Structure 1
Amino acid sequence: MNAPVDPIYLDYAATTPLRDEVRAAMEPYYAVQFGNPSSPHRWGRAARGALEESRARIAEALGARHRDVVFVRGGTESDNLAILGRAEATRAAGGAPCIVTSATEHKAVLDAARSVAARGGRAVVLPVLRSGVIDLEALDRALDEHPCLVSLMWVNNETGVVQPVPEVAARAAEAGVPVHTDAVQAVGKVPVHFERSGVACLSVTGHKIYGPKSTGALLVHQDTPLDPRLHGGGQERGLRPGTQDVAGAVGLAEAVCLAVAEQAELMSRYESLRQRLEGRLSAAIADLRIHGGDARRSPHVTNVGIANIDGQMLTISLDLEGLAVSGGSACQSGSTGGSHVLEAMYGDDARSAIRFSFGRTTTDADVDRAADIVIRVVERLRPHDG
């Protein structure tokens, strides 16, 4: 009887396990140093000290100022605070809010922009080139309409395509328009420096970088007016009222600092893994397409398209063989439609897609086994002549 083979997890772009270092940093703030950071006594002061130290650590790691860091409860809330907060601040100042974004954004951004439009504002969704990179000429035309915000994802969560965020921010600055970037898949994957990038707002979350789930931050310049989406106390500059999650902030800070410190070394290894996997799959599967292969991509993700095969059956069959991958964004796993990202890039030419994403413990052997499984399953599922 054959010994069971360990399953392979290649879906780190969906979520990551909590690092031991992060868990250890958080542990004291659950039961020992449990105070409310708004309380004046010693327990509250200890909690406030940990909270502000975490804010300072994130700011230093991402090239921001201490006061720029606003703690929230994840990437989706961070995106919504930037977009809806900016729209409402514009409306309160007597303006007509208009959000400019791209067709390949995360649904947290696209749906927030559509919410602005539904409330009497406008949402301009820019096309991308076949490479997945934003159409800069279309951006320039949109900037002529004086929007209140441009929101552009730094690294695409499905394809890994890297957008030219600093260039977009420079063009927008000439028009007096602030830029928000969803950097959830960028932090720890590509160099991210808030000040040097020129953006006004930047979203980050913990669970993509071995931090705790339901933690995140919005980095926002003080001179970028936002209205809060929640109302209550004055915590987090009044932008995110409510008692702060000190343990979560400590864990997020530890995860961000580790991710930034290890970024260059890890990405070099991920690049090797990606080339190894893409090479094996391309050699064995006819008509395989590497989505975004003509663009600069973050090496932690590769997304391939396979023709003449049922996508849902493919991912289910891979899971049954012990390989965990994604058909696209984990946030859309319950959707019956295709990927809006790939549709924006390739139109009706979209194929069944598999997203592989690597993690700190992924090995060459994992990649080789994954390639063998995919090749075997595709051969079994594809229709054969005769």
Structure 2
Amino acid sequence: MVGGAFLGAPVSEILKLVIEEAKKVKDFKPLSQDLASTMERLVPIFKEIDSMQQRCNGELIVLIKTLERAEKMVSNSRAKLHMEHCYVCKDIIISTAQRIEYNEHPFWLEKYCACHDFDGTPKCCSCERLEPKETNYVIIGDGRWICLECNESSIRDTYECQPLHFEIREFFKGLNMEIEKQFPLVLVEKQALNTAEEEDKIGHHHEVSTRGCCFSEEVIITSVSRIPKMQSNNMLIEEIETVRPVGESKIISVMILYGLPRLVTGSILAHEMMHAWLRINGYRDLEPDVEEGLCQVVAHMWLESQTYASTNGAAASSSASSSSHMRVNTTNEPMFEEKLVEFCKKHIEKDDSPLYGLGFNRVHEMVTNSSLHQTLRGFPSRKLKTERQVQILESNRRTFSNFKGS
């Protein structure tokens, strides 16, 4: 019975039971009485021990619950506290919901310390990626940097660019916009391109960084139109009118920034050759954003054609264009070129500049709703207008000649 009372009972209570059972013994001797008395004095002490144990158990429970809550808080905070490694320096960068301590490229999604945007870290002039630690970008003669992937297909001189030039002429021909006139295509350094653009009388409103330009000239001639005009004193006078020549503007040259990869060079060249096509075909009075928008749309269309081109064809073309420099392919070039095409397209689509970005959006919507040719027919061509003017002038000359003969 006593054994049953032991289970789950405090020590002081067990001690009381032992004392009560001891007192029931008939031959309870004095020694046993002294022992019982001593045990009774121990009862308060054991009660205090029991009380302390209960308090300790309560504090232990509180501690366990506190640890559980702390673990839950840490688990929940993992979604708010991110530990990333910088793409450039490889150090740990931390961002919370309250603070952003790193930047991220909108296309490549590479996270890096914000300080690398202005601490002199080399940035690729083609794909805009920063140079990672223990990676050596290539420096071009005019001070620009280019990453190893872009350098694989970079075009470094005018001779190298000729196959691409012919390819884009074929692209225009496929659009039923053949450019029959031949004109020089030259690759130049950055400073030479900027200087040439400043001296250009026409210009194409490049805003941030000039990477290409189309130079053309237009000659103004003075023609005497013998249109009879009778004054009040019955005297005839001859009026002199200034008219533009029938035919196209003369394209002096197209300049492209050298050292860029084939895909970037091709998109710039398609853009500038559209400027040439517009000049040749009499579209001289377009609004600046419309002209730049048309050129950006054509560049985007050429990039789309590269998206669907076979990987082997693109690689072969890149290999042919870079063979003269004997550059060794050390990267997975076809895979990178697919990404570079998308980067160039997104760069055009996401541009928010007033001329290039808004111009592209404006023209792209027109082309999407109809076609490029129908869109072009909606804009005036001065070439057609001039031809009609000359026909009228010729008719007037014949009329006046008959008038004089009579």
TM-score (norm 2): 0.23
User: Which has a greater percent of helix?
Assistant: 2
Q: Does 1 or 2 have the higher relative contact order (CA < 8 Å, sep 6+)?
A: 1
TM-score (norm 1): 0.24
| Structure number with bigger Rg | 2
